């Protein structure tokens, strides 16, 4: 059974992720696609780290700079939703773990193709 605090953190993380995706879709310059991958809640709900990826990948630094400039505005956006009694301090980060997962998928697909080629030849 989930503890009440953990459940509350999961619910908060889900809502913040949803709001971040909505905010990026409204406020971004549409040069790149920013996708929120997850949100971590820390310090008993006082901090939130929002992880995202960007396509094309070469626009990530620009997207991160944009997100960091807009952290205060995003916090105001979340406050306006009235879903939280207290809005945590927000930090945006590029999700390197998602990049690693994508690379592992690429390598796995390449290995599977090589195996299929070897099986077909024999």
User: Is residue 89 classed as helix, strand or coil in its secondary structure?
Assistant: strand
Predicted confidence at residue 84, as pLDDT, reads 76
Taking the C-alpha atoms of residue 29 and residue 27, their distance in angstroms, rounded to an integer, is 7
Q: Under CATH, which architecture does the 4-121 domain have?
A: 2-Layer Sandwich (3.30)
- Residue spans of the chain under pLDDT 70: 1-5, 122
Predicted confidence at residue 104, as pLDDT, reads 85
Predicted confidence at residue 78, as pLDDT, reads 92
Q: Could you tell me the residue ranges of all domains in the chain? A: 4-121
**Burial level of 59, CB count in 10 A (0-12/13-18/19+)?**
middle
Predicted confidence at residue 1, as pLDDT, reads 47
Predicted confidence at residue 16, as pLDDT, reads 94
């Amino acid at each position: 059974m989930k503890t009440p605090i953990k459940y509350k953190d999961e619910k908060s993380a889900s809502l913040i992720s949803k709001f971040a995706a909505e905010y990026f879709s409204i406020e971004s310059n549409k040069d790149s696609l920013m996708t929120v991958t997850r949100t971590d809640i820390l310090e008993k709900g006082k901090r939130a780290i929002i992880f995202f990826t960007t396509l094309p990948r070469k626009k990530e630094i620009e997207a991160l700079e944009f997100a960091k400039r807009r952290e205060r505005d995003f916090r105001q956006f979340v406050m306006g939703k009235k879903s939280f009694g207290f809005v945590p301090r927000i930090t945006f980060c590029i999700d390197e773990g998602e990049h690693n997962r994508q690379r592992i998928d690429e390598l796995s697909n390449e290995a599977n193709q090589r195996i299929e080629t070897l099986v077909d030849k024999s």
